[in-house]
Amino acid sequence: MTDTAPPPTTTGAQEEELHPIRLRVNGVLRTAEVPARRLLSDCLRHDLGLTGTHVGCEHGVCGACTVQVDGRPMRSCLMFAVSAQDHEITTVEGLERPDGTLHAVQRAFRECHGLQCGFCTPGFLNVIAAFLEENPKPSEEEARDAVAGNLCRCTGYQNIVKAVLRAAELRLEEQVDEDAPVEVDEVAR
Amino acid sequence: MTERMIGAPVPRTEDARLVTGRGHYLDDLGAGAYEVAFVRSPHAHARITSIDVEAALDTEGLVAVYLYEDLTGKVAEPLPLLIPHPALTHGRTAYPLAKDVVRHVGEAIVMVVATDRYRAEDACERITVEYEFLPPVVGIDKAAGGEHLVHADVPGNVAAHMVQEVGDAPAAIAAAPNRLELQLDIERSACMPMEGRGVLARWDEADASMRVYTSTQTSTGVRAAVAAKLELPLDRVEVITPDVGGGFGVKIVHPWPEEVLVPWAARLLGHEVKWTEDRREHFVSSAHERGQLQTVRVGFDDEGRVLGLDVEILHDNGAYTPYGIIVPIITSTQLLGPYKPGAYRVDFRSLYTNTVIVTPYRGAGRPQGVFAMERTMDAIADHLGRDRADVRAANFIQPHEMPYDHGLLFQDGRPLIYDSGDFPASLDKLKKLVGWDDFEVFRAQARAEGRRVGIGIGCYVEGTGVGPYEGGHVQVETSGKVNVATGLTSQGQGHQTAFAQVVADELGVPFEDVSVTTGDTRRFGYAVGTFASRAAVMSGNAIALAARKVREKALRIAGEALGADPGDLEIVDGVVRVKDDHSSAIPLGTVAVLSNPLRYAFDDASKAATQFGGNADPSRPPVAEDDEPGLEGRDFYSPPRATFANGMHAAIVETDPETAEIRVLRYCVIHDCGHLLNPLIVEGQVHGGVAQGVAGALYERMEYDENGQLLNASFMDFLMPYASEVPSVEIDHLETPSPLNPLGIKGAGEAGVIPGAAVLASAIEDAEGFPITRMPIQPSELFHLRRRHAAGEIPPLRRVRTAPEEFPTA
């Protein structure tokens, strides 16, 4: 056996340089010191404790680790943490509103049984949340295309596609609801 | 009145945490734990001549390096052979770290522990292993040839040879008016859950106890294995299954080498240790399934009734056999499907190869068996010029013949007896759903447009809910909240929801008041695991029985409190009341207080149960001799044998005349798993299964080269389907209850995947007009088959010869 005690202290040799970084994650300014090679996915999960972002392949194919970088879906396993400096990151933890109201896509996934084991789900939610900003009223084909870059092993995608369409409905309903009181006020004035 | 929950499409309780990122999967735990990486063999078959770790020792953050020689006690012994069988005469298992010889690419040789995974991998890269190459045995032909051996002491590479016979099949075939022989080939795929395996272990020196978190399908199995390997008393080991990102079979194998090594190292180092499998590791060091070569000989009458069936199977079990020969046993028994062959003989040999081990993947040997049987049914129909559905119907076991005894032994060691099912009704439903009788009209229309289409069908029967047992515990708290526990684990099947539905109905409490824990040995120590579509059947029924016990006790105690006969009471919305007088009532939470005589009051509710608070009979002991304190109950469900679900699928495909691209236009499913606990969840299971069936038929395979290198060991190269590849699934249910269990249910987890390869082979063959005998089939292969067909190497189907104008010219 070749134990090298005491373990965690640095040996002096080959010490990795750490880089201070500043990211805005889910609206909150976060800082970390990371080696240049640290993946954004690992930084989010292990340095910032946001373990809702999952890692399924670490080579950018499965999409489980998808977060939004400045509102655009991005595979966090294909991005170094240092290159996220000064960017705005949204993870699954940041999809719901501060008052705890779930995002339309989160509600739609539950309603449509769009998840089973839930491991790939955060990636899908981020992809769909960003997609609906660009295409608020997708057709079924567009909905299917939108999620066709993410892998799921449980659902056969049937209810994920349904959930995209349902999320679009819920999102539009929300906007109507939010607009409604304003209109009432205007009428009152 | 409480709405009935069983059978309702209740949205899942689990989702609240899973859609918000609040679930906890294995790698989400253990912040600050040391992390493990392995040096794994890059060679399929080699003798290790030296291992040099010197260069790794000054790696920053390195904690420890372990070789086989460092392992102690039982950890240094081979891993257990989990399911011994008399026919498995040459079972072999691996050591946790390779000892002398490696037998597949990916076998672990050196374990490195460091402060994080990056550094552990840094150290792995600096370790040099030297090898003396041995001849690799790759592929069933090479294994069966026996020229080179995977294990020097296993002659002919044969791990097991098993024959089962009912009647004299060879004689029946010889005497039959019609005979056919088929050579079939089905390749490897794998479970491929989105979350790989992973283990986290924490040793508590003061308590001399071990806590293990593992992404497993059996926490009790891992607990027993860890206790045995580390030589710890069982009560010093607890195993907790966190949220699990999919299993599909691969996580039922236990203990995986890492499940022994990580706890062992955690104890040695006095520090939390974690290993999280990466995707490449999952490809080369977990498990695969499916690979078989099959020879089918069949004799049949002019109606297509099978008189004799003789099947020989060569099964590739990979380098070791830790899970025994369950897969080929299931193939050889479940091959029979809904049919009754006059005489049956099945002979399988399970063979070693220098590849990743083969253990159950959703379907567990059934997709191969169904492929053999359904290809045979299609071949019979074609030979006789009869409708493929009619030939199947001619061979069906009829409803009045249930229970039907095949005279064989099933995978649970019990007789293969079907409990219920209505196959003719299923077939009728399927034909209507897919439009079977109108297909020729569609084909003609398509042909007029220059398109090539075909329809296929596949039927299966699936033994589900195998024993030996599962248990359930139901406890009502003084708040009225209900805690439920069962020992088996969850990997996305919605157990927290489905089992809460069962308890809500059985006990008469609001669904929202029930919380369910699975796979935590602290809560329930007796369990088997989640496999074989057994969770709902086994734990669902055990929990129902436990809830009935609690209900009985609640009625007794409430009867005493209300001065009523328990028979006159009912429980509705968590309140026990007199059926005819709802004003005479007592909440279950209060019954829970009364059930537990107290000396000390800790809140208002508990005052009533203290010695001066109630009006208990002073002449009797506070807890009767045959009673226990607490409003709780525990029970077990142990069935005499499996319950058999069934289903029939049909698909319509289009094959591109130029590119040979295969598109599934429709995929229809009739599914009978008895009563549905939650249709939303059952349909979700079917959807996922169908996607894996389509994947195994058209996309996925393990591409080993002759040296045993897995060429497509990444998601970039292993073609797991995206939403763009999986067709819409149309489902209709038949509900033939099982007479074997209190809830009348059958398993549903694996059903969707089982006939996938058979159905799509049937449909592609129908589109192309020549036999399809090998799956999966990708466009390039179909293209080559067309060329061989055009060159006369592959004869056309008979129905093409008799009606050539209805089929495309090649």
List the one residue out of B477, B702, B684 whose CA is nearest residue B9: B684
Options 3.40.720.10, 3.40.50.1000, 3.30.365.10, 3.40.50.300; which CATH number does B467-637 get?
A: 3.30.365.10
> Residue range B153-177: average pLDDT?
97
Which member of A59, A113, A154 has the closest CB to residue B714?
A59
Which member of B21, B24, B28 has the closest CB to residue A91?
B21
> Residue range B337-365: average pLDDT?
97
Where residue B805 falls among pLDDT bands split at 50, 70, 90? low
The count of other CB atoms within 10 Å of the CB of residue B681 is 26
Contact criterion met (CB < 8 Å) for B19 and A93: no
- What gap in Å lies between CA B224 and CA B234, rounded to an integer? 7
- Comparing alpha-carbon positions, the chain B residue that sits nearest to A65 is B194
- What gap in Å lies between CA B175 and CA B184, rounded to an integer? 24
Residues of B in contact with A152 (CB under 8 A): 194
Share of chain B above pLDDT 70, in %: 98
- What gap in Å lies between CA B673 and CA B425, rounded to an integer? 14
Respond yes or no on whether the N-terminal peptide bond of residue B96 is cis (omega within 30° of 0).
Answer: no
Question: What are the C-alpha distances in Å from B144 to residues B135, B149, B301, B349, B593?
Answer: 15, 10, 34, 9, 67
Task: Give the long-range contacts of residues B619-622, CB within 8 A, separation 24 or more.
Answer: B622/B597
* Low-confidence residues of chain A: pLDDT under 50: 1-3, 5-12, 182-189
Which pair of structure tokens corresponds to residue B573? 């919305």
Only one residue has tokens 């003789």, namely B310
Contact criterion met (CB < 8 Å) for B194 and A119: yes
Cα angle B761, B762, B767; round to 5: 95
Residue type at A186 in one-letter notation = E
**For residue A118, what pLDDT is reported?**
98
Cα angle B328, B334, B338; round to 5: 165
**Contact call for residues B357 and B182 (beta carbons, < 8 A):** no
Which pair of structure tokens corresponds to residue B735? 């509900």
Q: Which conformational region is residue B334 in: left (phi greater than 0), alpha (psi within -120 to 50 degrees), or beta?
A: alpha
- Comparing alpha-carbon positions, the chain B residue that sits nearest to A148 is B723
**pLDDT digits 0-9 by tens, B600-646:** 888 777 777 777 766 667 888 888 888 999 999 999 999 999 999 99
**Contact call for residues B254 and B99 (beta carbons, < 8 A):** no
Residues in chain A: 189
DSSP-based three-state secondary structure for B274 = strand
Which member of B248, B687, B720 has the closest CB to residue A155?
B687
**Contact call for residues B707 and B133 (beta carbons, < 8 A):** no
Respond yes or no on whether the N-terminal peptide bond of residue B804 is cis (omega within 30° of 0).
Answer: no
Residues of A in contact with B192 (CB under 8 A): 153
Q: Which helix (H) or strand (E) holds B395?
A: helix B388-395
Respond yes or no on whether the N-terminal peptide bond of residue B403 is cis (omega within 30° of 0).
Answer: yes
**Contact call for residues B427 and B396 (beta carbons, < 8 A):** yes
Q: Residue B594 above 70 pLDDT?
A: yes
Residues of B in contact with A54 (CB under 8 A): 25, 194-195, 245
- What gap in Å lies between CA B93 and CA B79, rounded to an integer? 6
Residues of B in contact with A147 (CB under 8 A): 722-723
Options 3.30.1360.70, 3.40.50.300, 3.20.20.70, 3.30.365.10; which CATH number does B292-466+640-806 get?
A: 3.30.365.10
> Residue range B649-657: average pLDDT?
98
- What gap in Å lies between CA B449 and CA B701, rounded to an integer? 33
Residues of A in contact with B271 (CB under 8 A): 7
> Residue range B184-204: average pLDDT?
97
- What gap in Å lies between CA B669 and CA B651, rounded to an integer? 9
Question: ipTM surpassing 0.90, yes or no?
Answer: yes
DSSP-based three-state secondary structure for B437 = helix
CATH number for the segment(s) B32-134+191-285: 3.90.1170.50
- Comparing alpha-carbon positions, the chain A residue that sits nearest to B65 is A2
- Delimiting residues of CATH 3.30.365.10 domain(s) in chain B: 292-466+640-806, 467-637
**For residue A140, what pLDDT is reported?**
97
**pLDDT digits 0-9 by tens, B269-309:** 999 999 999 999 999 999 999 999 999 999 999 999 999 99
What are the structural domains of chain A? 18-94 (3.10.20.30), 95-180 (1.10.150.120)
From A177's Cα to the closest Cα of chain B, the distance in A is 23
Q: Residue B364 above 60 pLDDT?
A: yes
Residues of A in contact with B279 (CB under 8 A): 56-59
From B725's Cα to the closest Cα of chain A, the distance in A is 9
Residue A152 in contact with partner chain B when CB distance is under 8 A: yes
Which pair of structure tokens corresponds to residue B539? 């734990």
Backbone angles phi, psi at A112, to 5 degrees: -95, 5
Residue A63 in contact with partner chain B when CB distance is under 8 A: no
Q: Which conformational region is residue A70 in: left (phi greater than 0), alpha (psi within -120 to 50 degrees), or beta?
A: left
Question: What are the C-alpha distances in Å from B153 to residues B46, B90, B158, B677, B793?
Answer: 16, 9, 10, 50, 41
**Contact call for residues B529 and B239 (beta carbons, < 8 A):** no
- What gap in Å lies between CA B272 and CA B625, rounded to an integer? 45
**For residue B620, what pLDDT is reported?**
84
Contact criterion met (CB < 8 Å) for A59 and B15: no
List the one residue out of B647, B184, B650 whose CA is nearest residue B453: B650
Which member of B279, B691, B724 has the closest CB to residue A57?
B279
The secondary structure of residue A46, as a DSSP letter, is I
Backbone angles phi, psi at B204, to 5 degrees: -105, 105
**pLDDT digits 0-9 by tens, B490-539:** 999 999 999 999 999 999 999 999 999 999 999 999 999 999 889 899 99
Contact criterion met (CB < 8 Å) for A153 and B680: no
**For residue A1, what pLDDT is reported?**
47
Sequence-separated (6 or more) residues with CB below 8 Å from residue B763? B454, B455, B456, B651, B652, B653, B664
- What gap in Å lies between CA B203 and CA B198, rounded to an integer? 17
Q: Residue B775 above 50 pLDDT?
A: yes
Contact criterion met (CB < 8 Å) for A156 and B192: no
- What gap in Å lies between CA B553 and CA B37, rounded to an integer? 52
**For residue A133, what pLDDT is reported?**
96
- What gap in Å lies between CA B587 and CA B478, rounded to an integer? 9
- What gap in Å lies between CA B761 and CA B725, rounded to an integer? 17
- What gap in Å lies between CA B359 and CA B351, rounded to an integer? 13
Which member of A57, A125, A148 has the closest CB to residue B724?
A148
Residue A39 in contact with partner chain B when CB distance is under 8 A: no
Best residue of B28, B194, B495, B664 to probe chain A, by most A CBs closer than 10 Å: B194
- What gap in Å lies between CA A69 and CA A91, rounded to an integer? 9
- Comparing alpha-carbon positions, the chain A residue that sits nearest to B282 is A57
Residues in chain B: 810
Report, in angstroms and rounded to the nearest whole number, the Rg of chain B calculated over CA atoms: 29
Residue A92 in contact with partner chain B when CB distance is under 8 A: yes
Which member of A13, A64, A149 has the closest CB to residue B194?
A64
Sequence-separated (6 or more) residues with CB below 8 Å from residue B783? B659, B660
Residue A101 in contact with partner chain B when CB distance is under 8 A: no
**pLDDT digits 0-9 by tens, B717-742:** 999 999 999 999 999 999 999 999 99
Residues of B in contact with A150 (CB under 8 A): 722-723
Which member of B70, B278, B494 has the closest CB to residue A1?
B70
Q: In what order do the strands lie in the sheet with B158-166?
A: B158-166, B343-352, B306-318, B292-300, B178-186, B774-775
Only one residue has tokens 């060679």, namely B43
Only one residue has tokens 């009341």, namely B577
Where residue B808 falls among pLDDT bands split at 50, 70, 90? low
List the one residue out of B515, B720, B637, B652 whose CA is nearest residue B14: B515
- What gap in Å lies between CA B421 and CA B673, rounded to an integer? 9
**Contact call for residues A136 and A172 (beta carbons, < 8 A):** yes
Do the strands B292-300 and B306-318 form a parallel or antiparallel pair, or are they unpaired? antiparallel
Question: What are the C-alpha distances in Å from A152 to residues A107, A160, B666, B701?
Answer: 19, 9, 21, 18
Contact criterion met (CB < 8 Å) for A110 and B12: yes
**pLDDT digits 0-9 by tens, B435-489:** 999 999 999 999 999 999 999 999 999 999 888 999 999 999 999 999 999 999 9
- What gap in Å lies between CA B125 and CA B322, rounded to an integer? 29
**Contact call for residues B291 and B365 (beta carbons, < 8 A):** no
Which pair of structure tokens corresponds to residue B691? 């996607």
- What gap in Å lies between CA B306 and CA B322, rounded to an integer? 36
Contact criterion met (CB < 8 Å) for A119 and B64: no
Which member of A35, A46, A52 has the closest CB to residue B22?
A52
- Delimiting residues of CATH 3.90.1170.50 domain(s) in chain B: 32-134+191-285
- What gap in Å lies between CA B639 and CA B541, rounded to an integer? 10
Question: What are the C-alpha distances in Å from B173 to residues A64, B170, B310, B342?
Answer: 53, 5, 8, 10
H-only helix segments in B659-773: 679-698, 756-768
Residues of A in contact with B58 (CB under 8 A): 11, 13-14
**For residue A180, what pLDDT is reported?**
61
**For residue A11, what pLDDT is reported?**
44
**pLDDT digits 0-9 by tens, B406-423:** 998 888 888 999 999 999
